[in-house]
Amino acid sequence: MTTTTSPNTSAPIGVFDSGVGGLSVLRHIHAQLPHEHLMYFADSGFAPYGDKPEQVVAERSLAIAAFLVERGAKALVVACNTATIAAIRLLREHYPDLPIVGVEPGLKPAAAASRSGKIGVLATESTLGGEKFLQLREQVAQTSKVDFLLRGCTGLADQIELGELDSAATMAMLEGYVVPLLNQGADTLVLGCTHYPFVSAAIETIARRSGSKDVTLIDTGDAVARQLARLLAAAELANRSQAKAGIEGFTTGSASALSVAFSGLLGLQAPVTEAVLSPV
């Protein structure tokens, strides 16, 4: 078992995803914790994770975590639903002294927000088929008396990786995924992949076109950032500096593509380095 020594409070926080989707979580972290230095790792050269075996995603996640820890990460955020399901337990076993936050579809807040009791869940097929998700769905459905309508969104994360947030192809894909859920009475939609918040505006447009004006979209990025802040405070790792910290990116894909994503999706300029992972 690998352990880590306690890093200092000015050490960076490592955030990773299969691609640019985790930037939707990073923006919440950056907004809530502006004094924390952030390292973002996009495994774009190996994306998407949704069609990979769980063991492969777990091994990949361990390799990324090792990369970030070697660069001094004092905490890790697994900003990917698929990687959280596949690897969060293993990561916590490898780094028992490190605050680690994963993401999961926001079924609980969706149940609290829904008026009709029918909730659409947009996610990858691997997330929807994962044991952790199925247990969460069963638990929330029983305690809240709601119905979850599941919809696997094959190809949607790929469109977002390409930067096609409102192209004709993406809008057609979203209509095929979203409208049937609305027609079944869903008044709340869970964005069950960290890529999907970047097409929130497109989803809202489709909902209005279909006559559903009061649809609530659930994005768990804010909750992840709040949980990270709690864990850092509990471990006495929060950065007390008042200086605004920076962000740096790493990717197994194209550095220029991730730079464009930082700028286009977040309005931020960040240095990006292409990275090669070592086997775990």
Q: State the binding site for substrate.
A: 17-18, 49-50, 81-82, 194-195
Cβ neighbours around 162 below 10 Å, total? 14
- Can you say which residues are annotated as belonging to the binding site? 17-18, 49-50, 81-82, 194-195
Which residues are catalytic, by number? 80, 193
Task: Label each residue of the chain as H, E or C.
Answer: CCCCCCCCCCCCEEEEECCCCCHHHHHHHHHHCCCCCEEEEECCCCCCCCCCCHHHHHHHHHHHHHHHHHCCCCEEEECCHHHHHHHHHHHHHHCCCCCEEECCCCHHHHHHHCCCCEEEEEECHHHHHCHHHHHHHHHHHHHHCCEEEEEECCCHHHHHHCCCCCCHHHHHHHHHHHHHHHHCCCCEEEECCCCHHHHHHHHHHHHHHCCCCCCEEECCHHHHHHHHHHHHHHCCCCCCCCCCCCEEEEECCCHHHHHHHHHHHHCCCCCEEECCCCCC
